[in-house]
Amino acid sequence: MQRETGWSYTLMGHVYRAQGDIEKATTYYDKAIVVLANLVKEYPRDVSNRQELALAYHNRGLHFHYSGDTQHASEFFQRATDNYAQAVEDCPGAQFTYECPYVRSLNNYAWFLATCPQAKFRDPAKSIELVTIAINLQPEQWEYWNTLGVARYRCNKMSEAIKALEQSCSKSGGGNAFDFFFLAMAHYQSGHIDKAKEYYAKAMEDSKGGATLIEPIHHLRKEAEGLMGHLETEKSQPVAKGIGKKGE
């Protein structure tokens, strides 16, 4: 019940962050960290507590970073790194099975290593290693394929990134902005300009409305625009809207 309370506080932080209420978002993120840190101290061998604490630190770091406080963000990203690594170490690969409730921690850590906005915390090669284990155990989870695609993109493995992201789209019923932005950039880097335009337009459409309030999507959009700036006029093209957003 305490773990669920901690996670609920994190979700409330997301809600207030999306609404632009920095003060309330901060309050709920801090509450989540207090609850989960106490659980880790009381039950240090329960990996689920530590993985939730790592995720809370991760989100608190994102909140600091996107609010412009990069120094405190770095401190919380380091805490996230330490706890993600410890969670995986406490449940080594030999113990992971399809039913294992901790497989998600592999993807969470891999996602952090592939996408952390502070590049010094990124390790896309390790991200590929971790999420590949998760995919081998739960191959129908679109989020895992998305993480693999992003990590491969960060490693400049464009054709392999495209294949993984296409799998993500297939398994999620069509894909979403987290797939489309990276597909656009990967195709652009590969010289497939028409494909890049197509996915760029899809990503822009899918990131309209509520999704624009989610900082990772906002900054991913800025990354794509920075790479593909001359395609700016493609934004307004109507396309079918994707489904879903990747959780943090």
The pTM of the full predicted model, rounded to 2 decimals, is 0.84
Report how far residue 209's alpha carbon sits from residue 232's, in angstroms, rounded to the nearest whole number: 19
**Which of 105-109, 155-159, 240-244 is predicted most confidently?**
155-159
User: What value does the mean pLDDT take over residues 29-56?
Assistant: 90
Provide the pLDDT for residue 208: 76
Provide the pLDDT for residue 79: 97
Report how far residue 235's alpha carbon sits from residue 169's, in angstroms, rounded to the nearest whole number: 21
Report how far residue 147's alpha carbon sits from residue 128's, in angstroms, rounded to the nearest whole number: 8
For the chain, the domains span: 1-90
Interval 184-239: pLDDT, tens: 999 999 999 999 999 999 998 888 755 444 567 778 888 998 998 756 544 433 33
User: What value does the mean pLDDT take over residues 71-99?
Assistant: 81
Provide the pLDDT for residue 20: 76
| Ramachandran class of 178: left when φ > 0, alpha when ψ lies in -120 to 50, beta otherwise | alpha
Specify the fold of 1-90: 1.25.40
Interval 115-172: pLDDT, tens: 999 999 999 999 999 999 999 988 999 999 999 999 999 999 999 999 999 999 999 9
- DSSP string for 175-233: --HHHHHHHHHHHHHTT-HHHHHHHHHHHHHHTSGGGGGSHHHHHHHHHHHHHSGGGGG
**Cβ atoms of 52 and 3 closer than 8 Å:** yes
User: What value does the mean pLDDT take over residues 65-93?
Assistant: 89
Interval 89-102: pLDDT, tens: 877 554 555 456 67
13 pLDDT tier (thresholds 50, 70, 90): confident
Provide the pLDDT for residue 82: 96
Provide the pLDDT for residue 23: 86
